Amino acid sequence: MFVDCDSLEFGPFTMPSTSSFFLTKVDGAGDFVWLRHAFGAMATDVEYLGGNAVAVIGNFSDSTNAVGTSTLLSQTTDMFMGSFDLDGVPGWSYRSEAANDPALCGGRTLDRSPDGGLFALSSGSGSILFDGTTVNTTGHGVQVSKFAVDGTRQWTAVMEGHPDTNWFSHYGGLASDQEGRAYVAGCFNAGTSSAWLTLGTYSVTGTLNGFSLYVARTNDITEGLPEAALPDFSIYPNPTSGIIRVEGITANAQVTFTDARGRVVVPSRIAKGLFDMNGMDDGMYMIRIRDGAHDGIGRVVVMR
């Protein structure tokens, strides 16, 4: 999805090039249907979103990049995402930016989430801006972000390393399961025997001047938190046709429900741990519990 030559031909389509990203559609007979491209950019992955859309991710360092419905501006090296319908018409676009030189940020991999949105894997170093929020990454870090189906970013989880952890694989893997958890794999080069990388409360160390494998998982479909730490809570009946009880939490626990699209929904709270789901549509709902210093994630199915 990147070309740097005078021109490139895709069947009847010819694309001029000055270091360009391209996206093309091929039908079932092997014929090219359409071709889209943008100068000064490199796409690294494409993902089918279901229905009538695909999304692309990559990086660009040109001053402008017309991907999606808006023109993205860059003064450094930035990550971009954009959507296209199956006729090649652009939709939404997104950019995260390196806050200053020599900071770097680049998109790497996409995976469709079970709610129809996207998980995006990016990497970079220094200060990186996501929707105006600065993410500071020591060494060379990895960011896992969750996007809604309309391209709205919902959260970003940062994996960062010791300053001597000087290299992450730009081509690590990204996958998600049906419960909305993202899995990331890759490798890093530890410059010293004490170098480390972290994701939330978890950390691994590397070997001196050697490549080390890492595998990481996020657990929360709405916030990308590390693995839940709230012990011994339960939700019943599950599935339910109406009222549920959440056992093992205190009266001060904060309980948040989200639907399959990642939107917050609010059932009626009858008493401590007792919730009325009668106003909810049938389907699966994620339950996020924050009880003091502990966090927990569960799910409940409404079925009538």
Assign 184 to helix, strand or coil: strand
The domains found in the chain, sorted by start residue, are 2-217 (no CATH), 234-302 (2.60.40.10)
Which regions in the chain score pLDDT beneath 50?
Answer: 1-7, 10, 66, 68-74, 102-103, 167, 169-170, 208, 221-229
For residue 275, what pLDDT is reported?
Answer: 92
For residue 5, what pLDDT is reported?
Answer: 46
* Closest alpha carbon to 77 in 95, 90, 55: 95
Residues 6+ apart with CB under 8 A from 175: 111, 182, 183
Assign 126 to helix, strand or coil: strand
Half-sphere exposure of 68 (CA within 13 A, CB side): 20
For residue 243, what pLDDT is reported?
Answer: 92
SS3 content of the chain, % helix, strand, coil (to 5): 0, 60, 40
* CA–centroid distance for 133 within its chain: 16
For residue 161, what pLDDT is reported?
Answer: 61
CB 298 within 8 A of CB 287: yes
Assign 254 to helix, strand or coil: strand
For residue 1, what pLDDT is reported?
Answer: 46
Residues 6+ apart with CB under 8 A from 293: none
What gap in Å lies between CA 52 and CA 85, rounded to an integer? 5
* Closest alpha carbon to 186 in 199, 197, 170, 201: 170
Instruction: Output the six-digit token pair for 78.
Output: 């930035």
What gap in Å lies between CA 272 and CA 17, rounded to an integer? 63
DSSP string, 22-76: EEEEE-TTS-EEEEEEEETEEEEEEEE-STTEEEEEEEE-SSEEEETTEEEE-SS
What gap in Å lies between CA 153 and CA 292, rounded to an integer? 27
Instruction: Output the six-digit token pair for 263.
Output: 């939107």
What gap in Å lies between CA 75 and CA 60, rounded to an integer? 10
Tell me: the pLDDT tens digits for 58-108? Answer: 877 655 554 544 444 445 567 788 888 888 888 888 887 766 554 456 677
For residue 72, what pLDDT is reported?
Answer: 47
For residue 224, what pLDDT is reported?
Answer: 46
- Residue 261, amino acid: R
pTM beyond 0.85:
no
Tell me: the pLDDT tens digits for 262-274? Answer: 778 888 888 888 9
221 CB neighbour count, 10 Å cutoff:
27
